[in-house]
Structure 1
Amino acid sequence: MYSEATRNALIDEATTLFAERGYAGTSLEDIAASALLTRGAVYHHFAGKQALFEAVLDRLGIGAIQRVAEVASKQSSPEDAAIAGFDAFLGESCDPVYGKLVWQEGPLALGWEGWRRCEQDHSYALVEGVVLSLMHSGYLEHTAERTTVRIFHEMLGGAGLALAEASAEDKPQVRRECTDLFRRVLLGLHQQAGAAPADG
């Protein structure tokens, strides 16, 4: 119990300091001092600063996806679930801590491949579930599953980054624009699916 509490305290302090100073501007000594622990205590739980940053992203990502999934699950149709879930995810990206650490500091701290792998672990399965639900319901044409999921996942990431880079004053407008664009993309694909000739 104490060990878990210490680990959580380190993640708490690391989240705050990484958000305030950035990954490069934060040292393990800073985090240990903020948590009233020694550097050795940090290494007892994490192999180094990058491992601690990964733990921060894991916590942020898991929490965000759980909240998004909860919003989507309350909708009455796959289309409504997709739109509500997308908008809820944008809401998460409006949070200054989440936006900065996930979208801006993540690639710098973990490298492109490491950050991409982290994003895959957190959000890909949720996007895949939404897209397949749209396909199985007949709302989208059931074709090119993997490519469609990947494109939707990239759309989510692009919108998240746009929000992270937007000023606090511009975030509400950017969020509305992204949600509207997503809705129009879905409608366009739905209309195309309806116009597609039946098999056979």
Structure 2
Amino acid sequence: MAGMRAEQRAATRRALLAEGRRRFAVDGYHDVVLAEVAQAAGVTKGAAYHHFESKAGLFRAVVAEVQRELGERVAEAAGRYVDPWEQLRAGCRAFLAAGRDPVVRRVVLTDAPAVLGWDEWRAMDEDSSARHLTEALDALVRAGVIEDQPVEPLARLLSGAMNEAALWLARSEDPGAPGGAERALDRLLSGLRTRND
């Protein structure tokens, strides 16, 4: 009996997250009404408040879910390569490509910093995809592929550049924009390599 209730609670939470995700991506945070999300998910408004406390709580959970998936996408792309340099390039390219995903664009790149605030958004980003970047750069510095330097400022600079490029790609109607962004990224990354590499 307790197992069935836990399963039902989990199903309710998943339904609210799925509907919230869809609506936040299409309508944007400010135009979403929690009661309408609950109704569309087939649950009561009380259930929505029980699971998430507020629209902001639901949004925070959706952002965390999308960022986790984005981190997994980046890690999966990097994991296709053995060479650490190619892992870095593939992970960065996967992050840029994710900017074309309407959910990532609207929820993570556009609304999350404004709704959650910069500090909370950065902390969530750090827990998902940003830590992969830091780990990759640290491995490359230790291997001598990248000049010896503090990794944290380098990771933040590169992360900021990629977030900005992903936003630009998301808004661009130029069909050549993704290729141009990848070439620019490759030039930026190649500038990090040691001269004797």
- TM-score normalised per structure 1: 0.89
Residue-pair matches, total: 190
Work out the CA distance in 1 between the residues paired with 2:118 and 2:192.
Answer: 30
Q: Deviations over 1:146-171 (max 9, x none)?
A: 2112112212211222122223xx2x
Q: Deviations over 1:22-80 (max 9, x none)?
A: 10000111111111111100011112111110111111111121121111012131111
Letter in 2 for 1:80: E
Gaps of 5+ in 1: 196-200
Letter in 2 for 1:176: G
Equivalent position of 1:85 in the other structure: 91
Gaps of 5+ in 2: 1-6
Preserved CA contact (<8 Å) 1:163 1:175: yes
Letter in 2 for 1:29: A
Equivalent position of 2:4 in the other structure: none
Letter in 2 for 1:183: D
Q: Deviations over 1:84-129 (max 9, x none)?
A: 1111112222111211111111123212332222222222211101
Work out the CA distance in 1 between the residues paired with 2:151 and 2:113.
Answer: 27
Preserved CA contact (<8 Å) 1:78 1:137: no
Letter in 1 for 2:96: L
Letter in 1 for 2:99: S
What is the CA distance between 1:10 and its match in structure 2?
0.2
Work out the CA distance in 1 between the residues paired with 2:172 and 2:17.
Answer: 26
SS in 2 for 1:104: helix
- TM-score normalised per structure 2: 0.90
Equivalent position of 1:188 in the other structure: 191
* Structure 2 residue 18 is the aligned partner of structure 1 residue 12: yes
* Structure 2 residue 51 is the aligned partner of structure 1 residue 48: no
Task: Quote the RMSD (CA, aligned, Å).
Answer: 1.5
